Amino acid sequence: MPVFFIQSQDVADGVITVIEPLLSHIAKSLRTKPGDSLLFNDDQGNRYQTSVTQITRRNLQARVNQKEAPPLSTRPPILLAQALLKGEKMGWVIQKATELGVTSIIPLITDRVILKLSEKQEEAHQARWKRIALEAAQQSERWTLPDIFPIQPFQKFIDTPRPVSPIFMAEREECSSLLTIPCSSENQEVGVTVIIGPEGGWAAKETEAAKSHNYTFASFGKEILRAETASLAALAILQARFNS
């Protein structure tokens, strides 16, 4: 059953009130009827098991049968810094990364990024990516939504101090596999940052910049993966390591 995300103020006296645009999706697209069961998560991480009591043109009301507090996380947050991909690939990565439990995503402009966007286009893309992440989180029954940060240049990202050295996924570099590099899951607040390059690969100056900032270099072995494949492979490996 998908879980729908609401604001905590939508819950009052044991009743959740849903308005547009979520109302149309639940009532029309899903053809929900009074008596049906629905799951909701609020912005505090709480989950509500409910029964629909009323549907009108203006709103849907659902009675709260059970409220659950968010579970204690057993793995560190994962931030994915992904170089922009062209076409539908970026949205696909955001969708699948959300399903894999990523905490945050930062789209990067790197030297070999093909996609060029105006400020207005960047805002439109970010709004679309947030919708994609929302829908993926609903379908995968996540407790929280991932943060989708504004697009930023690689240099700005690399100049931002971070508590733990990010993992820089590099092709054709002499470095350890992501399966074996030290990657502690003990610090639940700091988390892990993994950086994936563009479809054309990293420029030499970007690789050197990562080295000068003492980033941890890692690879997938001898295989050269497509950028969108590399992102999901990295997230799957990290999740498997943290959940083991």
Cα–Cα distance measured from residue 156 to residue 84, given in angstroms and rounded to the nearest whole number: 15
| Same domain, yes or no: 127 and 44 | no
Inter-residue contact 108 to 84 (CB < 8 Å): yes
Indicate if 156 and 57 belong to the same structural domain. no
Among left, alpha and beta (phi > 0; psi -120 to 50; other), residue 229 is alpha
Residue 4 corresponds to which tokens in the numbers above? 């729908």
Q: Could you tell me if residue 19 is inside a domain?
A: yes
Count of structural domains, the chain: 2
φ/ψ of 78, rounded to 5, equals: -120, 125
| Cα–Cα distance measured from residue 14 to residue 50, given in angstroms and rounded to the nearest whole number | 9
Domain-located, residue 73: no
Is 47 part of a structural domain of the chain? yes
Question: Is there a single domain that holds both residue 124 and residue 8?
Answer: no
Residues 35 and 84 in one domain: no
- Domain, as residue range, for 215: 78-243
Left, alpha or beta for 31 (phi > 0: left; psi -120 to 50: alpha)?
Answer: left
147-148 and 104-109 strand pairing:
parallel
Which pLDDT band, with edges at 50, 70 and 90, does 207 fall under?
very high
CB 42 within 8 A of CB 10: yes
End residue of a domain, out of 28, 46, 68: 68
Nearest to 122 by CA among 84, 160, 79, 82: 84
- pLDDT tens digits along 39-54: 999 998 899 999 999 9
Name which residue leads in pLDDT, 4 or 186.
Answer: 4
Give me the CATH number covering residue 216: 3.40.1280.10
Q: 221 and 170 share a domain?
A: yes
| Partners of 37 in the β-ladder | 51
Name beta bridge partners: 52: 62
Quick one: which of 148, 147, 144, 146 has its CA closest to 41?
144
| 106 and 61, same domain (yes or no) | no
Assign residue 50 the CATH number of its domain: 2.40.240.20
Q: Are 175 and 217 in contact (CB under 8 A)?
A: yes
pLDDT of 184: 59
Q: 128 and 236 in one domain? A: yes
Residue range 141-182, pLDDT digits in tens: 999 999 999 999 999 999 998 878 899 998 777 788 888 887
For residue 194, pLDDT beyond 70: yes
Q: Is residue 16 part of a domain?
A: yes
- Tally Cβ neighbours within 10 Å of residue 211: 13
The answer to whether residue 144 sits within a structural domain is yes
State residue 153's pLDDT score: 94
Nearest to 241 by CA among 116, 39, 101: 101
Confidence of residue 188 (pLDDT cuts 50, 70, 90): low
In terms of domains, do 26 and 134 share one? no
One domain, residues 44 and 129: no
For residues 64 and 90, membership in a common domain is answered with no
Of 68, 89, 111, the position where a domain reaches its end is 68
Residue 102 inside a domain? The answer is: yes
Q: Do 206 and 38 contact (CB within 8 A), yes or no? A: no
- Among 68, 89, 116, the domain boundary falls at 68
- Helices of type H across the chain: 22-24, 89-99, 119-139, 154-159, 204-212, 227-243
Q: Six-digit token pair at 122?
A: 């960047």
Return the pLDDT at 185. Answer: 53
Q: Indicate whether 182 belongs to any domain.
A: yes
pLDDT digits (tens, 9 = 90+) for 109-129: 999 887 777 888 889 999 999
> What does the longest C-alpha to C-alpha distance in the chain come to?
62
For residues 179 and 99, membership in a common domain is answered with: yes
Q: Is the peptide bond before 107 cis (omega within 30 degrees of 0)?
A: no
Domain-embedded: residue 229? yes
Same domain, yes or no, for 43 and 104? no
pLDDT band at 243 (very low <50, low <70, confident <90, very high): confident
Model confidence pLDDT, tens digit, residues 68-120 = 998 877 778 999 999 999 889 999 999 999 999 999 999 999 998 877 778 88
